[in-house]
Structures are given as structure tokens and as C-alpha cells.
Structure 1
Amino acid sequence: MIYCIGNNLGKKLPGIEHSQIKRVKLFLQMGEKAKIVTLSHGVDLYENASLFSISDNIFSIYDYFQEAMGDNRYSQKNYYDMWQKNPKYRLEPVKHTTDVRVFYQEDYICYAHFYDETYQRISYINYFDGPYEKRRKIKREIFDSRGFLSNVKILGENQRVIVDSYLNPSGDEKIVCYYNEGKEISRIQLTDYNNETYYFKNKNEWHAFFLDELNQEKTIFLSDRTQSMISSVPLMETRATFIPIIHNVHLRAPYETKISEITSPYQSIFSNLDSVSAIVASTTHQAQELNERLPETIKAYPIPVGYLESTTVKKIDFEKRNPFKIVCMARYYTE
């Protein structure tokens, strides 16, 4: 299995995620098993993936431990009808939105946001304490677009997250993240995973455990957002085939290939070469530059980031071309 590791997948894709999707589809066409794996919690991951016909070949670390793999639909509680039918509640729609304020015996208790104008698909609920004038947001419930309560955040002073819980579709707590006063994770608890509870001091340890669970004899990890995971690879108990992908220039001074400082997105690669099996660059020239800096045990390979959907490219007759028109597609970047 080939896993392409990234952060998330939105409705609009930057270049790296475009490259991931094209690569996975190309692997599948060639009969290779491949999936995109994201390290962020995204409640609309599968909804977004369906836009690019990739929902069968993607999952997140949260989906994995929340027992919510795959683009399945779940029966969701109808909060709007529940509140509307109970005389103790009063709903106040917010103009020009799909949101409602919820009052319990005239006490403002929560604010609900829905995906749709018919209030059938709930997105999140913010809960408040009282009184109204001094209210604080104390809890937020976030619902997966597939129809289940996925994430519960307990908030302290200044809306600082104290506890972050992630549930499976049945409502059981599977992942709990605790935060200290510095807003940093102080403990991650993995509940009832293979009938055991696990504890991690930080995300790097948790990610390493996750990668170990995925790692098999012929598993390959292609890392597109290397900074998010490379610190976890040395913590793995199994030996991983880990290959970072270079998507941009890697030198701050491009014409000083042997002495130039490495750009910040890729410094972590050169700081963790013991964990790197190989590197993929976009061009032959860049691969050559990388090989000048890499030890002999690690090689950079040039693999272009794009490919043609068809082998036939329509050519325009030369006499029909505009001889005075040149089109340049590029962008400015500091390097």
C-alpha cells in the first residue's frame, strides 16, 4: 500500500493537494493500492473528496481511530424539530443565515449553525453559561457532514480549549486531547483501541503510533506536507519507507547549490535524514542539486508533478498561430 500523507482536503485545492489526487488516481490506474491520509480533523473531508472522485481512497488519522472510515451516511438527530416541539424551548432564526438562537425557558443556552436552509443537517452547536449579559461559550459540538457528532470541545476562560473529545458514529469517546494553559496538548488518550487504552504526551508520539499501525512489509509513505509528520518517523517502532516530496524550490540562494541555506519547509528533511529513504523532486535539475547535498545512502529522483489525461495533444498549424504572442504562466516567490 502507498500512503500519501497530507494535512487536509478542502473544496478548493492548492497545488500540493492537486498533485496528491492526480498521483493516487495514476497509481490506481496502474493497479497499485494507494490512499491519501490526512493528519487534520476535517468534518467535511469525505464531502470534499467526493468532488474529486477520491472518497474511496482517503481517510484521516481521526477517521481511523474514530471508527468512521469511508463515505457512509448516518442517521442524525433532528435538533430543530426536537427544540421546536418542546414548549420549554424557543427558537430565534438569525437573519440571512442558516443559524438559530436557542432559548430554554427564555434563558439563552446555545447557538446552532445548520448546513441547509431547512435546518435538517446540523453543523455545530455553541453552548453558553449565564446570565445573558455575562455569558461565556463553554462548549462546542461539531458534527461530521456524514451525520454524526464528531467533536466536542470544552472551553475555559477566553474560549481556550481545555478538553477536545472525538467520538465514533455510535457516540462513544475514542480520542481525548487535553490542553495546558499554554494552549499546548499535554496528553492524548486513545480509548478502547483493540480493547486497550493508550496515552501519548504529544501529537508526534500519537502520529508515530498511527504510522506503525499502517506500516506493513511493503508499505510506502509519500510525504507531501513533510513538516507535519517527519518528527514522528524516528519515534516509530517499525522501520518505515519514508519518501518526502519536494514541491517547490529548496534553496534560498538557488545558484549556490552546495552552500545555500535550505528553505524552511524542507529544513526538517535535512535534519532527519536518518528517517528518509529517498526524496522525489519535480525536475531532473533539482534532483541533481539535491544529490549534491545528500549522503550516498539517500538518492533524489526526478518525477514530474503533472501528467496528460490523454496521449493525444492537439497541435495548431504553424501558419494559424499568432507569431507575436507569448504566454508565460508563473508566479513570483521570494526564492
Structure 2
Amino acid sequence: MFYFINEYILQKNSSVEHTAMNRVKLFNHYKQPAKIVTKTYDRLLHQTIGTFGLTDNEIVNMFDFFQEATVPLPIKVMHTDDLKLPLASEVTVGANFSQVAEGDRSTSNVGFIPGTVGRVFYQEFFDGLGNVIETNLWDWRGFKSATQYFGQNGKLILERYYTPSGKIAMEQYFVPDTNGQPLASRIIVKDYHGRGDLFFQNTDDLFTFFLGELSNQDDTTTTFISDRPGTGVKPLLALNDHSRKYVYLPINHAVDPNDPVHGTLDGFLAPAFEHFNHFDGFITATEQQADHLRQRYPQAKIAAIPAVTLLPATKTTLVTPEQRRAHSLLYVGRIAADKQIEQLLRMFALVKDQVPDATFDLFGYGSADYLTQMTDLVKELRLTTSVTFKDYDAQLADQYDHYQVLVNMATADGAPLAMPEAMGHGIPVVSYPFNYGPQAFIKDGQTGYVIDRGNALAMADKVRTLFTDDAQLIKMSQAAYDVAHQNWTRRKVWNRWQRFVQA
């Protein structure tokens, strides 16, 4: 079994999670059993993965594992009426929760799963003074997953986790930290496999044990690939068994991205490279980053394997530029200052001066404060009818065929998925150079343009040229499509994985 170690799968994910999701689908397509491993307690996990086309068999969560809830379970839809409330209870139904009272005293609230009509998510209980003393937490699949207990000061002191049958599986105790907030002090796995109670200081220690148990239960050699260095590196260093261990680098390995060979290593990756002999290999998304790492660690096993997989061109159809929305510009990624969104907007304003009907859509999520700043800038630049912040889209693959050009003005990034994805849909990419991605994906002048950093005027000119020169846009679109479907097909990427992990 292959396990891809991650922290979580959220409703809004980064390229780290999307890379793992692409990979687990690739492996299982070729009948190689693989699962994404997640660490975080998440009662909506099995709802969320469905939005990304994943099945319960393609993921294993640490809490599910100890709660004996890893096998696909029948979905039981729970409503307030199913909670067997006392006969004297009076229920007042609201949009997001129901209030339960006995006479004049409010006894509990029943909260609903967001986006559903009355499906139970939690039930919190009040004492005579209206303080929350206990909360039952319900899993998306319809079983009571945990109970939280609160002290007189309202702070969490205990969480108790259950199996779907109602047996106590784990307990987690909390003490106040220096700021008075709950801090996990002990986790107890109750009578684990008849071996008695197991004690852990925190979820990090439990996660290390969990990975060892995943390895122990396999009849054949287990392979771990850590996708999030902060989540997987230390547990894998502590795992001294016969499993195979790899680290995937989703980020720049150096703190200074412009000094990749000699610069200080990222803090999460440093322990892995300090003990590189403990690992069977390291994997990057670009050959450029792999080459930089080979220069630093010539004895380590390092390979570049694309993060995107595509069907061969014979099984897909290129949507030509004239079939797309005319003069449509696209950005995909975090909406954050380090991505230089302000520069992107000002660059687009230059484009629009020359191409009045040009539009610019930005897909991604960011902090509310920063989004407000950028929305205000759009108003200041008088672009409100042309620029749209589209937020995160779980089905982004369905959107690419509407756009003609993708842009990126970041100064550093770890091989953004949007570039090869867009090229796979025949979208030329115009980008600043940075480690890593643009130089690896873009053939300058053929599938897009790599613009000198800081030269927004030159980028606007290249975008304008593509928007106004139909022949050039069609030529570049076809070239981007051809390069993508020649280099990143599902079979070719799979062959790279096979050669690397079997070497």
C-alpha cells in the first residue's frame, strides 16, 4: 500500500492537497492500492472528499482509524427528531440550529451541518445559568463521533471519541496554556486491540504511532510519501521499520528562493535532509528543483515527477481560442500579497486601456482583509465591470476552457499546478520567472512568455498581443496543448513513478 501523508482535506485546498488527490487517482487507476492519510479530526471529511471525486477507500484519517470508522459506512441522515429528546422538550426550529427548552429554561441547541436542511452536526447542553457544559459532535455519516466537556470557566477539559457503535475509542484531556486556552495534555486510546490503554502526550505522538500501525497491518512493504513536510517528516524519521519512506517537496526548499543551492533550508525540510539516508528518496515537481537539490545532496536519491496528469491528446479535444470568451485573462492561486495580486491588477489595467472588452477572473482564496484591499483597488482602477474574484472552485478543471491566457506575477512559488493544468487546456501562460515552475513549464515565445521580473509593462504588452493577434494566440494555444499532452500524460507520469519507487 502507498500512503500519501497530509494534514487534512478541506473544502478549500492548496496545491499540496490537489497534488495528493491527483496522485491517488493515478495510482488507483493503475491498480496500485493507495490512500491519502490525514491527521486532523474532521467530521465533514467524508462529505468533502466527494466534491473532489474521491471515495472513502482512497483516504484514511487518523481519528477514523482509532474510532474504527475507516470502512465505508452507510450514511444515516440525523435530524433533531432522531435525538430522542425528553418528552417535555419544546423545539424551536431556526435556519442554522434548533433551540430546545423545557418550560422557560433553554436546555440545548441542535446545530445543523452547513448547506443541509436540518442534518444534525452538534448538540450543546446548558446548565441552569445558560453555560455550555457538554457538546455532542456528529459525523457527516450519521453517528455520534465525540463529546466535549467544559469546565466552570467554559474552557474545554475533555474530548471523548466514539466508534460508530458507540464504544469509547479515545479520550483527549486538556489543561490551560499560558494564555488560559485549552492545551492537549494527554490522549488515551482505550483498550487498543485488547492490549490495554495506550497513552500519548499529543496528536503528534499519536500520529507517529498511527503511521507505524498502518505499516504493520500491510502484508507487503508499505510505502509512505510525505506531501506536507510539517506533518510527515518527523513521524517518518521516528519510524524505524522496513517501510519505504519518501518526501515530496511542494515548496521551495530554501528560505531564500533565489539561493537554492546554498541558502538556509526550510525549517520543515531541514530534518529530512539532515538525515537523508533515512529516506528512500525525495521527489520534486520540476527537474530544475531536483537539479538544485542534487547539487546540495549528491548522495541523495532525487527525482522530478510531474504533479499533473492528463489524458493523451487522442482522447481529448482542444477548445480553440475563438471558442472561448474573447479577451479573457485568468489567474489561479492564493489571493495574497506574496502573489503580487496588486501588480496583477495594475498590469491588467494597462491591458484594458488597449483592449476595452478584456476581462480578468481570479480564482483562489485569501484573507478577508486582503480581499477587501484588492476589491478597493479594483474600484480605484475603475475595473469593477471587468475584474471578478471568483473564490475557490473545487471543479476548476471545468473552468479552464473558458479562458484564453493565464498570468502569474509571483516572485516565488513551488511549481504552481495552475500552469501545467492551464497548458493542458491549451492556455498560454505569461509569467515572471521564479523558482520553481515558469522556466520548467513555459517554452518562451512558443507556449507563453517568461517576462523579466518587475516588468509589468512588458507583461501587459504580451497579453495585449495575444488578445489582438488571433493567429499568434491560436498558435500558442496549440503549442501549449501539444507540449502538455506530450509530457504529462497519465501513462508517462505513471511510468516515472514506477521507475523511481522500484529503483
| Same fold, judged at TM 0.5 (above) | yes
Q: Is the 8 A contact 1:90 1:106 kept in 2?
A: no
Look up the match of 2:45.
45
Please say if residues 282 and 305 of structure 1, whose CA atoms lie closer than 8 Å, have aligned partners that are also in contact.
Answer: yes
Amino acid of the structure 2 residue aligned with 1:270:
F
**Match 1:151 to one of 146, 150, 166:** 146
- C-alpha offsets along residues 137-165 of structure 1, whole Å, 9 cap, x if unaligned? 22221100111000111122554221111
Q: Is 1:223 matched with 2:232? A: no
Aligned mate of 1:332, from 407, 410, 413: 410
Change beyond 3 A, Cα 1:333–1:124:
farther
How many residues were matched structurally? 327
Q: In the alignment, is the contact (CA less than 8 A) between 2:157 and 2:175 conserved in 1? A: yes
Task: Write the distance in 2 (CA, Å) between the matches of 1:299 and 1:209.
Answer: 26
CA displacement 1:113-145 (0-9 Å, x = unmatched): 1237753x21111222222xxx32222211001
1:12-54 C-alpha deviation (Å, 9 max, x unpaired): 4332222111111111122211111111111111112222332
Change (3 A) 1:257 1:109: same
Larger Rg: 2
User: How many angstroms apart in 1 are the aligned matches of 2:70 and 2:221?
Assistant: 22
Gaps of 5+ in 1: none
**In the alignment, what sits opposite 2:16?**
16
Q: Is the 8 A contact 1:112 1:122 kept in 2?
A: yes
Displacement of 1:318 after TM fit? 11
Q: Is the 8 A contact 2:38 2:61 kept in 1?
A: yes
Answer 1 or 2: which has greater helix percent. 2
Change (3 A) 1:295 1:165: farther
1:207-239 deviation per Cα after TM superposition (whole angstroms, max 9, x unaligned) = 121111111442111111121232222333524
Q: Is the 8 A contact 1:124 1:140 kept in 2?
A: yes
Cα pair distance change 1:273/1:163, threshold 3 Å? farther
CA distance in 1 between partners of 2:240 and 2:318 (Å):
54
Q: Is the 8 A contact 1:204 1:229 kept in 2?
A: no
- For 1:151-300, what aligned pairs fall within 5 Å after superposition? 151-156=146-151, 158-182=153-177, 183-196=182-195, 197-215=197-215, 216=218, 217-271=220-274, 273=276, 275-294=278-297, 296=299, 298-300=300-302
Q: Is the 8 A contact 1:110 1:128 kept in 2?
A: yes
State the AA in 2 paired with 1:107. R
Match of 1:100 among 88, 98, 103: 98
With normalisation by structure 2, the TM-score equals 0.59
Structure 2 SS opposite 1:145:
coil
Find the residue that maps to 1:307 and give its secondary structure.
coil
Judged with a 3 Å threshold, the aligned counterparts in structure 2 of structure 1 residues 6 and 105 are, in CA distance, closer, same or farther, namely same
Task: Report the more deviating stretch, 243-252 or 37-46.
Answer: 243-252
Change (3 A) 1:239 1:328: same
Instruction: Name 1:127's counterpart in structure 2.
Output: 125
Q: TM-score w.r.t. structure 1 length?
A: 0.86
Whether contact under 8 Å (2:253, 2:260) holds in the other structure is: no
Identity, in percent, stands at: 25
Verify: 1:136 aligned to 2:131, yes or no: yes
Counterpart of 2:187 in structure 1: which amino acid? I
Structure 2 counterpart SS, 1:301: strand
Structure 2 Cα separation of the partners of residues 328 and 75 of structure 1: 43
RMSD: 3.1
SS at match of 2:209: helix
Change (3 A) 1:264 1:311: farther
Displacement of 1:110: 1.2
Q: CA deviation at 1:278?
A: 1.2
Letter in 2 for 1:306: V
Q: Point out the more displaced range, 199-208 or 77-86.
A: 77-86
Q: Is the 8 A contact 2:233 2:268 kept in 1?
A: no
Task: Please tell me whether the aligned partners of residues 257 and 412 of structure 2 are also in contact (alpha carbons under 8 angstroms).
Answer: no
Structure 1 or 2: more strand by fraction? 1
Write the distance in 1 (CA, Å) between the matches of 2:313 and 2:100: 58
Gap change, CA 1:315 and 1:76, over 3 Å in 2: closer
